[in-house]
Amino acid sequence: MGAIFQNHLQAVLPAILDGLADENESVRDAALSAGHIFVEYYATTSLPLLLPAIEDGIFSDNWRIRQSSVELLGDLLFKVAGTSGKAILEGGSDDEGASTEAQGRAIVEVLGRAKRNEVLAAVYMVRSDVSLTVRQAAVHVWKTIVANTPRTLKEIMPVLMDTLISSLASSSSERRQVAGRALGELVRKLGERVLPSIIPILSQGLKDPNASRRQGVCIGLSEVMGSAGKHQLLSFMGELIPTIRTALCDSTQEVRESAGLAFSTLYKSAGLQAIDEIVPTLLRAMEDDETSATALDGLKQILSVRTAAILPHILPKLVQPPLSSFNAHALGALAEVAGPGLSSHIGTILPTLILAMDDEDVDVQSTAKKAAETIVLVIDDEGVETLIPELLRGVNDNQASMRRGAAYLIGFLFKNSKLYLADEAPDMMSTLITLLSDTDNATVLAAWEAFSRVVGSVPKEQLPTHIKLVRDAVSTARDKERRRRKVCLFSYLDYVFLKHCSHFFLYFSRV
């Protein structure tokens, strides 16, 4: 039919593309054969119709469509360039291909430089496809139509980076993986030649109004830094660090999460320089009402990937007295992320929060209490060895507010923790009973409440084994009270203990 059939291409092409992904191999083969014929007969006359359809297929989620589309695109480019595309290309360097400068100019004349760049960018990306057959097809096309890879990459770099960033921000995990691999390969093979072009483009990409593309930039930065050598990146720290710092304060959480991963990769190369130039900025941003929330989340992101390295730089700033409501909230939020990593810093954080639990400001009180509760619950089995001594120091402190707060946290820990604390219960019961003779009535009440919770955490069948311990603790408290000659308070202690601890005496009478 020749030119007559050309009028029907727009209606027929979708069916051919669908056939490329058919479950039946014979249908796929027939569809690919039809595609080859379309390219053969209509490559020059219907290029504006054929090329977009084939380009869309290159980024399909179906690997069969990607493979067939790359092959068809190769046929089209070979036709335009005036080459058969049947050259055997095995091994060798990517730097030199089988094409000629004249063939390259022919493609530019037919497609236009902008479209040529888009097509080559797509082909270069799928050279790193997850499917071996797609990779092989793309490599064959690339080496057949590109004469010099480094020079070509330099020409198409802005478009290639735009393609990779868009793909890194794609909802398709496979497409993101392909783009990441392509970017990594680009840096590994041509690092020093392409980094001066890549990094500025990525930095500029953070100004894009599209949040998905900004996220793609952060993923791209991770790939670039992970693939480049440490010595290669040192000269670009002036651009990399501000870029990641900006991304950590982005208005979109997904961007901040990806920026946190980029920070982790940066830290491997920059070390303390990354911390010194990023963390203080985030801490200052937390003092501004407009940026405090995003800056706090940025800190959480880098803390989640580099807990041990970041905590010593953050905590001294946050625990400075007087503790503000926001700083208390920040400590609680960071504790959720750091988790057991806080164990070695309990002595720095907990005393400040306990004192703030008695602050005159109600907001500070509530946020400090919530943060302290979060911290005692995120500690793991190993951290208990640090937490328990710190709480015991608190109940023996000279300040009533410290004793009261520590007693509350002991009760909260034993009531809500999922850890095995039975071995810690005896010392806690003894200490809290002694605290019942405290001169501060509020502390006595807090101690009793905590004591009840500790007892409640002990299995009933184990309670009789603690009778002697309780009796000795009561005697100690009584002697302490007699020395103070405060009979009325001891009478109160005796009354409270007899009223609320009668089950101990029941067990004792049975024994």
Check whether the bond before 322 is cis (ω within 30° of 0): yes
C-alpha atoms less than 13 angstroms from C-alpha of 483 in its C-beta half-sphere: 8
165 falls within a domain: no
Mean pLDDT of the chain: 84
172 falls within a domain: no
452 falls within a domain: yes
As beta bridge partners, residue 96 has 148
Alpha-carbon span 46 to 74, nearest angstrom: 16
What residues have CB less than 8 Å from 297, skipping those under 6 apart? 253, 256
Q: DSSP string spanning 464-476?
A: GGGHHHHHHHHHH
Please report, to the nearest 10 degrees, the dihedral formed by the alpha carbons of residues 156, 157, 163, 169 taken in order: 180
Residue type, 468: K
Q: Residue 471 pLDDT > 90, yes or no?
A: no
Give me 385's structure tokens: 């060895």
Using alpha carbons only, what angle is made at residue 103 by residues 41 and 16, rounded to the nearest 5 degrees? Answer: 30
56 falls within a domain: yes
**Which has the closest alpha carbon to 329: 295, 355, 296?**
296
139 falls within a domain: no
Domain closes at, from 55, 78, 109: 109
Confirm if 454 and 411 have CB atoms less than 8 A apart: yes
The band of 32, judged by pLDDT with boundaries at 50, 70 and 90, is confident
Q: Residues 199-216: pLDDT tens digits?
A: 888 888 888 899 998 999
Residues of the chain above pLDDT 70, percent: 90
Q: Residues 98-148: pLDDT tens digits?
A: 667 778 788 888 888 999 999 999 999 999 999 999 999 999 999 888 888
The band of 506, judged by pLDDT with boundaries at 50, 70 and 90, is very low
Say what the pLDDT of residue 453 is.
Answer: 92
Confirm if 375 and 331 have CB atoms less than 8 A apart: yes
Total domains present in the chain: 2
19 falls within a domain: yes
Full domain range(s) for residue 503: 419-511
DSSP one-letter code for 438: -
Domain closes at, from 41, 74, 109: 109
Q: What is the 3-state secondary structure (H, E, C) of 326-369?
A: HHHHHHHHHHHHHHHHHHHHHHHHHHHHHHHCCCCCHHHHHHHH
Domain closes at, from 55, 82, 109: 109
The band of 389, judged by pLDDT with boundaries at 50, 70 and 90, is very high
| Lowest model confidence (mean pLDDT) among 123-137, 225-239, 242-256 | 225-239
Alpha-carbon span 231 to 223, nearest angstrom: 16
What residues have CB less than 8 Å from 25, skipping those under 6 apart? none
Alpha-carbon span 155 to 119, nearest angstrom: 13
258 falls within a domain: no
Alpha-carbon span 395 to 308, nearest angstrom: 29
Rounded to two decimals, the pTM is 0.73
407 falls within a domain: no
Say what the pLDDT of residue 98 is.
Answer: 60
